[in-house]
Amino acid sequence: MRIAVASGKGGTGKTTVSVNLSIFTGLKLYDFDVEEPNARIFIRGEERDKPVYRPVPEVGENCNLCGVCKDVCQYNAIVILKNSVVIFPEICHSCGACVYLCPEKAMKEVNRKIGRIVDVFNNGKNVLTYGEIDIGEVSPVPIIKAMKREMERDAVIDCPPGVSCPMVESVKAADFVILVAEPTPFSFHDLKIAADVVRSIGKPFGVVINKHGLPFDIESMCAKEGFRVIGRIPFSREFAEKYSKGMLLESLRQEFESIYDRLKEIV
Ligand code: SF4
Ligand code: SF4
C-alpha cells in the first residue's frame, strides 16, 4: 500500500507523521517535498544521488523569427526580439509544442538539469528516497514524476505542502491519503480545501490531528464535515523538542501502528 501524507498548509506536522509512520511500519519513505526535503534530518545514512533532467527547447540557425513558437507557448516562456528568439528555460514546462510546430524545424530539445534524486541507505537497505530541486527552478513536478517512476509498491509519501500541482501529483500515486491538521481555525480551513482536492481525485482519506488537546474543537468540525479522524498526536513540549532535534517519537509507536491498522481497514 502507498500512503500519502499531506496537509492543506505547511507546518502542521506532515513530516512528523510521515517519518514516524515509515519507521514504525517498516514502509520505505519517499520525500516528495523537493523544495524542502527535511525527512533526511530524521533518517540518515549513506547517500547515493543521481541527476534529474527535463527537455527544454533550443533555437538553431534556420530560424526566420516567424513567431509561431511564441504563439503556441502557453507559459510565455518565449519572446521574439528584433534579431533573435529568447527562451526562458526556468518557466518552460517542457510540453514540446514549440519544437513540434516550428515550421522551419529550427528548434531542438536539450536536457537541462533541474535537481537530483537521493537514495539513503541504512545497513545496506534503501530506507529513504528524497528529491531536491535546484535553486532557481520553478516546477518540482518533473522531479516528483521521476521519483514516481521508480517507486516501490509499498511506501509512505511525504507530500509537498498546500494543494497546488506538486501536492496533486504526489497524492495521485497513493492508495490512501492522510491529511494532517492542527486544532486551529486556520488549519481546519486549509484541511477542508485539501479534503476537497483529495475527494476530487477519488482517493480515500483520513485525518490525523497533530497537537491534539489545544482548545479548538476540531473533532466536532471534522465529524460535521464527514472526515474520519484516524489518529491523534498529543500537544506536548516533549514531542516539539524531539522534533527540533531530529528524533523519532518512540513513545507514540503504538499510536502510529494503530493509524496504519485503521487505514488498512478503510482501504
Ligand atoms: S517557430 Fe521556429 S522559425 Fe519561427 S520563430 Fe520560433 S524557432 Fe524561429
Ligand atoms: S516546450 Fe512548451 S512550455 Fe517550453 S517553451 Fe516550448 S511551448 Fe513553451
For range 152-166, the mean pLDDT: 93
Q: Hey, which residues does 208 pair with through a beta bridge?
A: 180, 231
Which ligand 1 atom is nearest residue 105's CA? 2
| Ligand 1 nearest atom to the CA of residue 107, by list position | 7
Query: Shortest CA distance to 7 belongs to which of 218, 197, 154?
Result: 197
Residue type, 194: A
List the residue whose alpha carbon is closest to atom 4 of ligand 2: 92
Side chain identity, residue 205 = F
Interval 85-110: pLDDT, tens:
999 998 899 999 999 999 999 999 99
Residue 146, all three cell numbers? 521521476
Lining residues, ligand 2, CB within 6 Å: 57, 72-73, 75, 77-78, 87, 92-98
Nearest Cα residue to atom 8 of ligand 2: 73
Whether 90 contacts 138, CB under 8 Å: yes
What pLDDT sits at residue 145?
A: 95
For a mutational test of ligand 1's pocket, the pick from 56, 58, 59, i.e. the residue with the most ligand atoms closer than 8 A to its C-beta, is 59
CA distances to 12, 62, 131, 250, 263 from 170, in Å: 18, 40, 12, 27, 18
| C-beta of residue 233 within 8 angstroms of C-beta of residue 249 | yes
Q: What is the pLDDT of residue 139?
A: 86
Same topology, domains 2-52+115-266 and 54-113? Answer is no
Beta partners for residue 233, in sequence order:
210
User: Is residue 138 scored above 90 in pLDDT?
Assistant: no
Say how many residues make up the chain.
Answer: 267
- Give per-residue pLDDT as tens, 166-195: 999 999 999 999 999 999 999 999 999 999
Cα 57 to averaged position of ligand 1 atoms, centre (Å): 11
pTM for the model: 0.88
d(CA 80, CA 261): 58
**How many angstroms separate the Cα of 116 from the Cα of each of 9, 87, 199?**
25, 23, 31
- CATH class of the domain comprising 54-113: alpha beta
Are 171 and 203 contacting, i.e. CB atoms less than 8 angstroms apart? Answer: yes
Asked if residues 211 and 235 have their Cβ atoms less than 8 Å apart, the reply is yes
| Span from the CA of 89 to the centroid of ligand 2 (angstroms) | 8
Contact 107, 55 (CB under 8 A): no
Q: Which CATH superfamily is domain 2-52+115-266 in?
A: P-loop containing nucleotide triphosphate hydrolases (3.40.50.300)
Q: Once rounded to an integer, what is the mean pLDDT over residues 204-223?
A: 93
- Beta-carbon contacts of residue 59 (< 8 Å; ≥ 6 apart): 84, 85, 87, 106, 107
- Pocket test of ligand 2: the residue of 59, 88, 92, 99 to mutate, having most ligand atoms within 8 Å of its CB, is 92
In this prediction, residue 8 carries a pLDDT of: 79
Alpha-carbon gap, residue 250 to 242, rounded angstroms: 10
- Tens of pLDDT, residues 237-246: 999 999 889 8
Count helices and strands (H / E) in the chain: 9, 11
Give domain limits for the chain. 2-52+115-266, 54-113
